[in-house]
């Protein structure tokens, strides 16, 4: 049978047309506009000035650092928490289906709604979290107002919302592990911890890689949670790349904003692609 005749390339045209016009073309021309000072009607070429500004201005530069902290921390926390949650939720406890749903559900609600709720819970004087801390004799913490803590408060909220997806990915991975491995190990007298280390960890590697890549990229692109909780503040303590792109746009610095976007591409290309290559190469053996 002639494959070329049955499967026409024309079938890909609608998808590719939309994808090209609304994603590929903007991505390519962003490389050009990041080298200009422009509004939507005209532009002046200015070489690498936008990028120089980005790396010399402290508030802009710190957004790059914050993005990395955010991506790495959310990724690590989700990975570790989700792994142990998945081990717990694949055991023989009775309420596991209910608990899986409970852990997963926050992922479906709007990020803005989550942001609003957690800002209220983290309120410096009235917030529920501080109420609990002070009842137990601790001192209340200004979760979102303290420049040293604010970023980490948002990170924790992100983990709260996103750990469910990572958990279900791990659960799917762990359920596909052959049960006989565990039985054999148990007969040989391996402890629960040894079985976890020698069987569960290596055999849920594909799931682990998906979780790492997904949450790392998600972390690099984060915007709405930051925007709903702190708006980048206090000062620029929680400013990330995506919020800088928005702020520079709102302030009318379109060139800087586009340059910020290009730096985001570069971060993803320089960090996520090699990370994925590395993880996949580990998966083979």
Partner 1 sequence: MKKRRFWYLFGDIIGLFIAFIIFIVPFIFMLVNSLKERKDANLLSISWPDALRWENFIEVFQANDYQIVTAFKNSFILVIGSVILLIITGSMCGYIIQRRSDKVTGVVNALIMTGLMVPAAILPTIWVLQRIYLYKTITGMILIEVALNLPFTIMLYRGFMNSIPLELEEAGYIDGCSRWKLYSKIIFPLLKPVTSTVIVIKAVTVFNDFTNPLYFLPGSENATVQLTLYNFMGQFESSYNLLFADVILITIPMLILFIFFNKRIVDGMVAGAVKG
What is the C-alpha R_g of the chain?
Answer: 23
Q: Which is nearer to partner 1, 111 or 150 (CB)?
A: 111
Q: Is 95 in the site for partner 1 (CB under 8 A)?
A: yes
32: which residues sit within 8 A by CB, 6+ positions away?
none
Q: Which of 100, 95, 97, 70 lies closest to 218 in space, CA to CA?
A: 70
Distance in Å, CB of 127 to partner 1, minimum = 6
Of 21-60, binders to partner 1 (CB under 8 A) are 21-27, 29-30, 33, 40
Q: Which is nearer to partner 1, 58 or 67 (CB)?
A: 67
Q: Which is nearer to partner 1, 5 or 148 (CB)?
A: 5
Q: Is 180 in the site for partner 1 (CB under 8 A)?
A: no
Of 128-157, binders to partner 1 (CB under 8 A) are 128, 131
- Upper half-sphere CA count for residue 85 (Cβ side, 13 Å): 25
Q: What is the C-alpha to C-alpha distance for residues 251 and 131, in angstroms, rounded to an integer?
A: 38
Write the interaction track for partner 1 spanning residues 205-244; mark x where CB under 8 A is met and - where it is not: -xx--xx-xx--x---x-xx--xx-------------x--
Q: What is the C-alpha to C-alpha distance for residues 86 and 107, in angstroms, rounded to an integer?
A: 16
Distance in Å, CB of 201 to partner 1, minimum = 17
Distance in Å, CB of 146 to partner 1, minimum = 19
Q: Is 261 in the site for partner 1 (CB under 8 A)?
A: yes
Q: Is 123 in the site for partner 1 (CB under 8 A)?
A: yes
Distance in Å, CB of 64 to partner 1, minimum = 15
* 3-class secondary structure, 177: coil
93: which residues sit within 8 A by CB, 6+ positions away?
99
| Pairing outcome for strands 36-38 and 43-45 | antiparallel
* 3-class secondary structure, 126: coil
Q: Is 83 in the site for partner 1 (CB under 8 A)?
A: no
Q: Is 80 in the site for partner 1 (CB under 8 A)?
A: no
Q: What is the C-alpha to C-alpha distance for residues 114 and 218, in angstroms, rounded to an integer?
A: 16
Q: What is the C-alpha to C-alpha distance for residues 273 and 191, in angstroms, rounded to an integer?
A: 37
Applying CB under 8 A, which of residues 65, 105, 138, 184 lies at the interface with partner 1? 105
Q: Which is nearer to partner 1, 55 or 105 (CB)?
A: 105
Q: Which is nearer to partner 1, 237 or 247 (CB)?
A: 247
């Amino acid at each position: 049978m002639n494959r070329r005749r049955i499967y026409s390339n024309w079938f890909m045209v609608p998808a590719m047309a939309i994808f090209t016009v609304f994603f590929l073309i903007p991505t390519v021309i962003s490389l050009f506009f990041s080298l200009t000072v422009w509004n939507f009607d005209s532009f002046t070429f200015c070489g690498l000035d936008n990028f120089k500004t980005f790396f010399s201005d402290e508030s802009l530069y710190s957004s790059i650092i914050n993005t990395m902290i955010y991506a790495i921390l959310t990724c690590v926390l989700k990975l570790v928490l989700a792994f142990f949650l998945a081990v717990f939720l694949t055991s023989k406890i009775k309420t596991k289906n209910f608990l899986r749903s409970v852990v997963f559900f926050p992922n479906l609600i709007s990020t803005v709604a989550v942001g609003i709720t957690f800002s209220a819970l983290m309120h410096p004087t009235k917030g529920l979290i501080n109420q609990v801390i002070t009842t137990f004799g601790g001192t209340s913490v200004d979760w979102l107002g303290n420049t040293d803590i604010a970023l980490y408060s948002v990170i924790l909220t992100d983990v709260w919302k996103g750990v469910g997806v990572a958990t279900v990915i791990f659960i799917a991975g762990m359920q596909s592990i052959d049960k006989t491995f565990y039985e054999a190990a148990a007969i040989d007298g391996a402890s629960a911890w040894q079985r976890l280390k020698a069987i569960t960890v290596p055999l849920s590697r594909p799931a682990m890689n998906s979780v790492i890549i997904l949450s790392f990229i998600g972390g690099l692109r984060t915007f709405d949670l930051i925007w709903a909780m702190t708006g980048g503040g206090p000062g620029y303590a929680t400013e990330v790349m995506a919020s800088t792109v928005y702020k520079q746009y709102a302030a009318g610095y379109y060139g800087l904003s586009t340059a910020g976007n290009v730096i985001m591409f570069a971060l993803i290309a320089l960090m996520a692609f090699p990370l994925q290559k590395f993880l996949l190469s580990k998966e083979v053996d």
